[in-house]
Structure 1
Amino acid sequence: MERWVGLLSNKKVIASVFLVIMAILGIVLWQLEKKVTSQTLERLSDQLSLAINNQLEKERSSALRYALILSQNTALSDALERDDEDKGFKILSEGMESIKVHTDSLIRSQVITSDYVIFARSWDNSYAGMPLEFHRPDLLYFQNHKNPRSAIEVGRKLGVKATVPVYRDDKMLGFVEVVSFFESTQEYFDRLGIDMYVLMDVRFYDTAVFMQENPTIAKEYILANPKYTQSDLKLLNGIDFKTLKHTHVVFSGGRYLFFEPMKNGEGETIGAFVFSLSPKQINAYAHSDEEDISFLIHLSRNELYDVMIKKSLDDGLFQSVYDKELLYLKDTVAPEDRELFVQEAHERLDAYSKEELIGIMLNYKVTKEIKGEIR
């Protein structure tokens, strides 16, 4: 007993025991924190993957929607068949301007001939007559398929390309295409405070001629972002991409970096999306009371379920995708094309029963945004 009393009265012994206990507690807490952080990063990686694929699907669907409508434009098909490039450019540019005025959306559309030559572009007609065969191997897909396709493709510039083949009397006239360059997806992640980098595999350098002046990242990728800083380049070039591809998340340059492979219409990996978050953002995510998905895409699980059910019911109301998109764009038709649009819509909707039309009216609401001053 006296021995224990002596030990307990020894300040050095007490201090040593205290330090050992604190060290053990520190190790335990560190291991727990490491485990929690690992689980948090894994969960966040899954949510980022869900979010990027959700946004890309929206971008692909939007582009395809407009391309399908344009492919049904008889005047545009006539111009293509007659090789009237000026008429084609006029139709495209005026149509896209009308959409911009009524919806504030910038849509880029182009027409390509059946032998892969640019016929007309809505935003710049200076490239009319330029061959694309070398730059657009994805168009070879339509040698054996008639269905439209919307996917990320390289071309002369990496982007989403919604391509619809145009036929007349079983003869292919060419393709109507709507292209976008990840603008809406980039804006979405910007609003969340998440940096997103779009990277194209460097092996497409010769094909993507409009990106040859873009920065090369780690000798593996070409940066597709139109805006970037030297800090961005330093961060990206400091990444061990071999590790990032394997683990899908690394900590580098004071940031947590997440990796999502980019695939084209054939399922081939052609690049990557890299997301950058600060430790503060990771900590906020780990301690968020919101549901996992809603933290990133502002939808609860129940809301996501409702959206999917609504989409299924919505699609089921129409006999074809074209009918659905025709109604969707009813408020963007230019006044001079209104009569043709009404005639086309009447012919398409005449095939529906009274009950089907009522269902469309009740469930498929399209509103027109009106800009201007209230006086």
Structure 2
Amino acid sequence: MRLLNSKTNKYLSIILLITSFFIFLIFYFLNNLNNSNNLLNNLENSLTTTKNLFEEQKRYALSLAILLSEDKEIVNSFLNENRQQTFEIVNRKIKTLKQLQDSNFEVQIHNKNLTTFLRSWDINIKDVPLASFRQGLVKVKEEKKPIVSIELGKRLNIKAISPIIINNEYVGSIEAIIDFEYLSKELKKKGYKLFVLLDKKYLDIANDLEANEKISNYILVNKTKINFLKDLDLENLKDYGYISNKEHSFAYFSYYDLQNNHLGYILTAIKNNKHININNSYDYETVNISSEVKIK
């Protein structure tokens, strides 16, 4: 009898041990799944937030360009070819308009032949030919309509261009230029870090970025620490998705020029405290082609 009880207790102990082990495994996997879902939700939120902020900033730049192109004081001084007067007027307008949003922007005015008439940050620069590498300028002259995009030039930034039209004739254009620092600040307030990467093959155009930090085949455009991106497999990214290293997880999406050439990636980072490895990538072709996913 004692032997039977001993065997029964032994079997019960084994069953209890096995049951406890499986219960532990279930809780472990459920906890990991919950953590992964929470991280993925946070990444999806960061992706949506970043896209929305970029679109808001593009609309803001476009409104500035249109407003300035219709400013009689600026247009008259431009038509009179008075660069000094135009320089003073433009910078006065910039100072006033900056009060609408705490972000820096610059203005460039273009001649009818798509050369530089004036840059708000340097009066000495003029008559620089732009048509060969500024797709947006050519498009505005051809269509006589304002546009905005993340456009490649000597630098990479948000550029909004509005034509100056006199008697239905294109006589020049005005461009509002906004960098990514305001976006970085706004995302930082929400707990995100912004990284704007440009493919290194475009450095022959964006030569002002030559000295910027580089990682893999990309150059870091905005001012932030590139070491956050270490150990990321940047060579196998698709159009948008999520990627992780030990310290951070990233939501990312591609951006394109006006001719649909892929320029690089915009990444938003959040802390990966649980060290969860998420690596999901998608092509734009898998979603509605008319959606607003693609950033230009």
Identify the TM-score tier after normalising by the shorter chain.
0.7 to 0.9
> Structure 1 pair 101/31, CA: closer, same or farther in 2 (3 Å)?
closer
Pairing 1:257–2:250 present: yes
Pairing 1:225–2:222 present: yes
Q: TM-score, normalised by structure 1?
A: 0.66
Give the secondary-structure state (helix, strand or coil) at the position aligned to 1:24: helix
Equivalent pairs counted in the alignment come to 276
Moved more, 44-53 or 196-205: 44-53
Shift of the alpha carbon at 1:191? 0.7
| Structure 2 spans left out of the alignment, 5+ residues | 277-296
The residue correspondences of 1:196-215 to structure 2 (distance < 5 A) are 196-215=194-213
Task: Return the letter of the residue paired with 2:5.
Answer: V
Task: Return the letter of the residue paired with 2:221.
Answer: A
Question: 1:63 — aligned with what?
Answer: 61
Q: TM-score, normalised by structure 2?
A: 0.82
Question: 2:113 — aligned with what?
Answer: 115
What CA distance in whole angstroms lies between the structure 1 residues aligned with 2:135 and 2:31?
49
Question: 1:134 — aligned with what?
Answer: 132
Q: Is the 8 A contact 1:45 1:248 kept in 2?
A: no
The residue correspondences of 1:97-246 to structure 2 (distance < 5 A) are 97-100=95-98, 105-219=103-217, 221-226=218-223, 228-229=224-225, 233-245=226-238
> Structure 1 pair 126/146, CA: closer, same or farther in 2 (3 Å)?
same
| Structure 1 spans left out of the alignment, 5+ residues | 284-375
Q: Give the superposed CA RMSD.
A: 2.7
> Structure 1 pair 234/99, CA: closer, same or farther in 2 (3 Å)?
closer
| Structure 1 residues 274-317: Cα deviation after superposition (integer angstroms, max 9, x where no partner) | 1221134999xxxxxxxxxxxxxxxxxxxxxxxxxxxxxxxxxx
Pairing 1:80–2:78 present: yes
Question: 2:43 — aligned with what?
Answer: 45
What CA distance in whole angstroms lies between the structure 1 residues aligned with 2:110 and 2:25?
64
What CA distance in whole angstroms lies between the structure 2 residues aligned with 1:144 and 1:3?
98
Question: 1:6 — aligned with what?
Answer: 6
> Relative to total residues, which structure has the larger helix share, 1 or 2?
1
What CA distance in whole angstroms lies between the structure 2 residues aligned with 1:90 and 1:18?
84
Shift of the alpha carbon at 1:124? 2.2
What CA distance in whole angstroms lies between the structure 2 residues aligned with 1:157 and 1:31?
47
> Structure 1 pair 149/182, CA: closer, same or farther in 2 (3 Å)?
same
What CA distance in whole angstroms lies between the structure 1 residues aligned with 2:184 and 2:154?
20
| Structure 1 residues 149-173: Cα deviation after superposition (integer angstroms, max 9, x where no partner) | 1111111111111100112123211
Give the secondary-structure state (helix, strand or coil) at the position aligned to 2:143: coil
Task: Return the letter of the residue paired with 2:22.
Answer: I
